[in-house]
Amino acid sequence: MFIDINTYVGHWPFRKLSFNTLKELDILAREYDITHMVVANLNGLFYKDANEANYELLEELKSYNGKTEFIPLAIVNPTYPAWERNARKMIELGFCGFELAPIYHGYSLAPEMFFDMYNPIHRAGKVMELAEELGVPVRVCAGFENFRGRSDLDTPKSLSADDYVALISKYENVPVLATGFSMLAAGGKLSELVKARKNIFFDTTTTATLDPKLCARVKDNIPEEQICFGSLSPFNYMETNLLRISLSGLDEESIKANGARAFKNL
């Protein structure tokens, strides 16, 4: 099994993407014998009702007849009414987990103070609770485009190590795919948590691993069995991440398969 835990279909409002359909992702995957891709629909970051994007992906999956097996994630916006009902429905319809987009949907991964400072509300935590109940993982991408080239209409924010710590520290039974986050920045408290838990996974998208010293730092922060292959397709060239796992001295075969451990029955 070779699983890419970081792929998307859909559109990006700030530049034209290519290879942004299931059919086209399948072409990329087959070129390198990738058997599975974890996928969500980018449109859900921008629609007021994110669930519309989940139905779009569902429709695309119905007509897809390629070789690569797609593992769909439902984009969930916990600030939107009926998110829980919609999220449950998506799992019933065959989605395999949830994706959170806190920066685009305007909430924090940590508990937030609203009107009552003694009772913070943890909106992301509510989704984690549901994921725990349903036994599915949650993916949270730290950022999509490199910050230097983002449109003025895009957000300058990316998720930090503290954001991930706030999300994962309480919900120890929920597998988390922390994609697009530099493993070099995953030290300190985040590294401690990741080592204590075996169900937190990172991907190669933003971490250069050909430099032996950087690679050693990655291994200090993240156990190898929690490093996964991720390409952030269709934003990026997949070959960069293939090189990173092939020439880094990390256990390539393990990295190709590790992502499967986040999902039941894979």
- CB nearer to other proteins: give 36 or 122: 36
- CB nearer to other proteins: give 146 or 173: 146
Report the nearest approach of other proteins to the CB of residue 215 (Å): 11
Report the nearest approach of other proteins to the CB of residue 109 (Å): 22
- Taking every pair of C-alpha atoms in the chain, what is the biggest distance, in angstroms? 54
Report the nearest approach of other proteins to the CB of residue 10 (Å): 15
Quick one: which of 265, 191, 199 has its CA closest to 226?
199
Which residues of the shown chain bind other proteins in the complex (CB under 8 A)?
15, 17-19, 31-33, 145-152, 156, 208-213, 233-244, 246-247
Helix (H/G/I), strand (E/B), else coil: 70 = strand
Beta-carbon neighbour count of residue 238 at 10 Å? 22
- CB nearer to other proteins: give 25 or 165: 25
- CB nearer to other proteins: give 43 or 158: 158
Q: Nearest 5°: CA angle at 177, between 172 and 180? A: 135
- CB nearer to other proteins: give 44 or 143: 143
- CB nearer to other proteins: give 160 or 199: 160
Sheet with 200-203: strands ordered across: 3-9, 36-41, 69-76, 97-100, 138-141, 176-179, 200-203, 227-228
Residues linked to residue 4 through DSSP beta bridges, in sequence order: 37
Q: Nearest 5°: CA angle at 138, between 134 and 144? A: 155
Helix (H) or strand (E) holding 87: helix 83-92
Cα–Cα distance measured from residue 72 to residue 96, given in angstroms and rounded to the nearest whole number: 6
Beta-carbon neighbour count of residue 53 at 10 Å? 21
Helix (H) or strand (E) holding 25: helix 22-31
Report the nearest approach of other proteins to the CB of residue 236 (Å): 5
Report the nearest approach of other proteins to the CB of residue 197 (Å): 28
- CB nearer to other proteins: give 113 or 210: 210
Dihedral angle of Cα 120, 123, 129, 131, to the nearest 10 degrees: -160
**Residues 208/265, Cβ–Cβ less than 8 Å:** no
